[in-house]
Amino acid sequence: MNENNRQELIELYLQGELEGQVLHDFEQQLKADKTLQADVILSKDVQKALDGVEGEQLLTEQISSFNNKYVTQSQLLDDSTKVNNQTSNSKRNISIAALLIVAALAIFWIWQQQNTSNEIEPEQIFASYYEPYSSNQLARGDDDTDEAYLKAIEDYDNKNYNAAIVSLTQRIAAKPEEIPTQLLLGNSYLNVSPPETAKAITLFKKIAEGETIYTTSANWYLALAYLQNNELETAKAVFEDLSQNASGQFANLAKQVLSDWK
């Protein structure tokens, strides 16, 4: 049995795919051949490690266990069969070393994938933290009876954002000083399908550049808009600025975002 056939038979044996005379012959050889027994155990343990690895600590333990266990076994086999099987054992030691390297690399790859999968994706952050700007914050006077404007707010509150965009755009054209209305329009852009994120960014940037009581709100929604637009580094920079230089609700939320987003 050459080395390639030997390893192939071991794998088929462990997978339960050997049958008939081939299975019988393999099991008979397995009873008599200590080297083959050790190779079967090695292959079985490698597969078990790949199936069950979890975390960096276990990664280290598995690699250490392989080294301790199989280097020791290899030494014992060398001592017991030194006279007649030096060439065979040398080949086997090389095979064990190769298997250990493959196992270590595979275990590390699985561990890395598991750790990567635990990270929160930007779209998850957007979904977790985004809440539309509330229309309750609009300062509407008792004399403000513009039916189109009231309908725009109603459409916005009912999440009918396409209709809201039309009416809010008209309102801003007539009253460009109404910053809360601009915030409603920017949020409407974020919520249509597909999102008109570029328009929202332009609007929020303009508000954020002004020195008003709405600057912090505009920056918060600007960061979220960058996030939605997959401009991740720019979004993170705005969140960091909010966490360091703002105060209140959005500053605290920005700190939470940065804590989640690693």
Same domain, 43 and 92: yes
Residue 156 CB neighbour total at 10 angstroms: 26
Instruction: Please state, in angstroms and rounded to a whole number, the distance separating the CA atoms of residues 59 and 227.
Output: 34
Same domain, 151 and 41: no
Same domain, 133 and 160: yes
Q: What is the pLDDT of residue 221?
A: 97
Same domain, 130 and 172: yes
Same domain, 140 and 248: yes
Last residue of a domain, one of 97, 117, 137: 117
Per-residue model confidence as pLDDT tens for the chain (262 residues): 556 677 888 888 888 888 888 888 888 888 888 888 888 888 887 777 666 544 445 555 555 555 555 545 545 444 444 444 444 554 555 555 556 666 666 666 555 555 544 456 778 899 999 999 999 867 555 445 588 899 999 999 999 999 999 999 999 999 999 999 999 999 999 999 999 999 999 999 999 999 899 999 999 999 999 999 999 999 999 999 999 999 889 999 999 999 988 6
Same domain, 182 and 199: yes
Total number of domains in the chain: 2
193: CATH: 1.25.40.10
- At position 115, the amino acid (one-letter code) is N
Same domain, 108 and 158: no
Give the range of the structural domain holding residue 97, as residue numbers without chain letter: 3-117
Structure tokens at 142: 């008792």
Rounded to the nearest 5 degrees, what angle is found at the Cα of 8, between the Cα atoms of 19 and 101? 145
Instruction: Please state, in angstroms and rounded to a whole number, the distance separating the CA atoms of residues 1 and 18.
Output: 15
Same domain, 96 and 194: no
Give the residue among 3, 157, 164, 161 at the shortest CA–CA distance from 88: 3
Last residue of a domain, one of 66, 99, 117: 117
* DSSP of 162-177: HHHHHHHHHHHHH-TT
Q: What are phi and psi of 121, to 5 degrees?
A: -80, 155
Helix, strand, coil percentages in the chain from 3-state DSSP, rounded to 5? 75, 0, 25
Using CA of residue 137, residue 138, residue 142, residue 146, what is the dihedral sign? negative
Let me know how long the chain is: 262
With a threshold of 0.85, does the pTM exceed it?
no
Instruction: Please state, in angstroms and rounded to a whole number, the distance separating the CA atoms of residues 197 and 163.
Output: 17
Same domain, 77 and 170: no
Instruction: Please state, in angstroms and rounded to a whole number, the distance separating the CA atoms of residues 204 and 183.
Output: 7
Task: Report residue 140 CA to chain centroid gap.
Answer: 44
Same domain, 95 and 127: no
Same domain, 224 and 193: yes
Give the residue among 232, 254, 234, 259 at the shortest CA–CA distance from 243: 254
Q: How many CA atoms lie within 13 A of 118 on its CB side?
A: 8
Give the residue among 105, 74, 69 at the shortest CA–CA distance from 90: 74
Same domain, 96 and 70: yes
Last residue of a domain, one of 102, 117, 132: 117
Q: How far is CA 40 from CA 11, 31, 82, 137, 232, in A?
A: 8, 12, 21, 71, 49
Instruction: Please state, in angstroms and rounded to a whole number, the distance separating the CA atoms of residues 16 and 241.
Output: 60
